[in-house]
Amino acid sequence: MSSKSPLYAAIDLGSNSFHMLVVREVEDAIRTLAKVKRKVRLADGLDDDLVLSHEAMVRGWQCLSLFAEQLQDVPPENVRIVGTATLRLAKNVDMFIERAEQILQNKINIISGLEEAETIYYGVAQTSCGEGNRLVIDIGGASTELVVGKSSQALLLNSLDMGCVTWLKHHFKDQALTHNNFEAAINAAKAKLQPIGQEYLSLGWQTCLGASGTVQSLQSILKAQGLSEQVTLEKLQELKQQSIDCGHINQLALQGLSSERLAVFPSGLAILIAIFEFFEIDTMTLAGGALREGLIYSMLGESKYPGVQERTLRSLISRYQLDQKQASHVRSTASLLYQTLVSQSQQDDISLTMLTSAATLYEIGLCIEYKKAPQHAAYIIDNIDLPGYTPAQKQLLAALLFNQRGKLQLEMFNQQNALEVAQAIQLCRLLRLAIILCMRRSKGSIPELTLEWQRDVMCLSLPHGWLEGHALRAAELMQEVEYLAKSDLKLNVIEVDKI
């Protein structure tokens, strides 16, 4: 880590687009200062003899002239610039690099496919959570990287010569979105996977993450179409059929798909379907970062916090000067209450993670002011980078924080797709209850209690005489009964002789 400047920059000279990421290190985390992306279509300029056209080079140089000004503020030792698949293949790459380095006044490294795969995995590992082995998929313009790793260590790496731009040129040359074109693209991708497949299947994985523009586009489409963030083969096949129904790339119109991804989405989709079918993948989620983040974090070094989400929470606690003891108090109480759900509904770990994260950050809005602290908290979460959390999880976390007290606005839970709406509302009820019970900011002030669920009715049992001896919290509990009733939810608060 440089002691001279907290500024770092990473530039990815990709086959479809050039990207620049500029960040500042803040409290063991990175704060994004600039993200610049330009579609250069470098792979379009590569002919059958692997010679890069002058026109493609000019597009690249023009883009880099935009990046150059921003780089002047970043020390050269804090800059990493890499070229990937198309520049690896181009026979006249030296001509492009010589002029590009003059423009940027920095060294450009053309990295191998395996180096690219390893850096992508490191970027994913530093920005996404997951236990055990993870399969990471990154579909670029001219190459696809497949990595199985554990924690921050890549275990199995491959970079295959197939991408959304090259597959568009080879298998959708006529721009027709037909069953035959899709099948040709899918089968060709499976042929690329065949030589490496058994090694991946033998190693195995517990979770799958996607780190490409194709997967980012998928997330936007799934959200726009009211589907959960989990990518499945069934959803991919449905999107393939929706694409075929459009007939032609020029007529492609999928709800949620941006105009800049229209041309390369079908080819990327075909590659992803092939990977899902070949490896029999159940579900995949969007990774928090990839190549550029891998370059940045490789300069920063390992965090002192082992988990990505824990690092993010610790950074926010420090940055917004949160009361760490109170956060821990509410978090442990929320976890205790959550156990009442697990025994009856067997909810997954994502639910507990979202609840404890919300409990940890529930006072973040106080950094602005008290009266509208829940709204401020939701705004902060909506508009901040949260490594380790998917976009859908961020939206759920914001909804939980917005609804931490006062009148409920349950429609916010309809707008997130991280969990089923009913699950999200249950977490909200537990968070609100934990906050009320922890109003005394001291350890040991939580009474013995039981919490029982009968369908949607929540029954809180407290020791006999507790309500009379704790007037403020008793009043807040009675107010909570009224708030819930207005949303057709029921809370019973009773006292019993023995818990």
- For the segment 103-122, the average pLDDT, to the nearest whole number, is 95
- Sign (positive or negative) of CA dihedral 329, 334, 337, 343: negative
pLDDT of amino acid 344: 52
Amino acid at 155: L
CA gap 465, 331 in Å, rounded: 26
Q: Which residue has the tokens 């890069």?
A: 52
pLDDT of amino acid 415: 87
Residue 156 lies in a domain: yes
CA gap 348, 340 in Å, rounded: 13
pLDDT of amino acid 346: 57
The rounded Cα 398 to chain-centroid distance in angstroms is 15
Q: Residues 415, 318: one domain? A: yes
- Contact indicator for 334, 430 with CB cutoff of 8 Å: yes
Residue 25 has pLDDT above 90, yes or no: no
| pLDDT confidence bin for 31, thresholds 50/70/90 | confident
- Contact indicator for 77, 47 with CB cutoff of 8 Å: no
Q: Residues 267, 370: one domain? A: no
Amino acid at 230: Q
Domain-terminating residue out of 86, 111, 136: 111
Residue 55 lies in a domain: yes
Residue 215 lies in a domain: yes
Residue 3 has pLDDT above 60, yes or no: no
Residue 306 has pLDDT above 70, yes or no: no
CA-CA-CA-CA torsion for 227, 229, 231, 232, nearest 10 degrees? Answer: -50
- For the segment 94-100, the average pLDDT, to the nearest whole number, is 97
- For the segment 176-181, the average pLDDT, to the nearest whole number, is 97
Q: Residues 198, 216: one domain? A: yes
pLDDT of amino acid 2: 41
Which three-class secondary structure state does DSSP give residue 163? coil
The rounded Cα 499 to chain-centroid distance in angstroms is 42
Residue 486 lies in a domain: no
pLDDT tens, 444-473?
788 889 999 887 799 999 999 999 999 999
- Contact indicator for 137, 117 with CB cutoff of 8 Å: no
**pTM for this structure?**
0.77
The rounded Cα 97 to chain-centroid distance in angstroms is 33
pLDDT of amino acid 470: 93
Closest CA to 488 of 457, 463, 442, 465: 457
Residue 71 lies in a domain: yes
The rounded Cα 28 to chain-centroid distance in angstroms is 19
Residue 360 lies in a domain: yes
Which CATH number goes with the domain that contains 170?
Answer: 3.30.420.150
Residue 318 has pLDDT above 80, yes or no: yes
pLDDT tens, 371-394?
999 999 999 999 988 888 988 899
Amino acid at 350: I
pLDDT of amino acid 349: 76
pLDDT tens, 140-175?
888 999 999 998 899 999 999 999 989 999 999 999
Domain encompassing residue 91: 7-111
Residue 414 has pLDDT above 60, yes or no: yes
pLDDT of amino acid 1: 40
pLDDT tens, 48-67?
899 999 999 999 999 999 99
| pLDDT confidence bin for 348, thresholds 50/70/90 | low
Q: Residues 48, 65: one domain? A: yes
- For the segment 244-252, the average pLDDT, to the nearest whole number, is 95
Residues 6+ positions from 331 with CB-CB distance below 8 Å: 356, 359, 360
Q: In the 8-state DSSP scheme, what is residue 286?
A: E
Domain-terminating residue out of 406, 431, 446: 446
When divided into structural domains, the chain yields a total of 3
Q: Residues 235, 341: one domain? A: no
Q: Residues 39, 176: one domain? A: no
Residue 341 lies in a domain: yes
CA gap 400, 429 in Å, rounded: 9
Q: Residues 230, 327: one domain? A: no
pLDDT tens, 336-347?
999 877 665 555
At residue 379, φ and ψ (nearest 5 deg) are: -65, -45
Residue 198 has pLDDT above 60, yes or no: yes
Domain-terminating residue out of 111, 136, 166: 111
Residue 332 has pLDDT above 50, yes or no: yes
CA gap 32, 8 in Å, rounded: 10
Q: Residues 273, 328: one domain? A: no
Q: Output the six-digit token pair for 228.
A: 């959960």
- For the segment 200-226, the average pLDDT, to the nearest whole number, is 92
Which CATH number goes with the domain that contains 64?
Answer: 3.30.420.40
- For the segment 194-217, the average pLDDT, to the nearest whole number, is 94
Which CATH number goes with the domain that contains 360?
Answer: 1.10.3210.10
Q: Residues 199, 272: one domain? A: yes
Which three-class secondary structure state does DSSP give residue 205? coil
Q: Residues 165, 198: one domain? A: yes
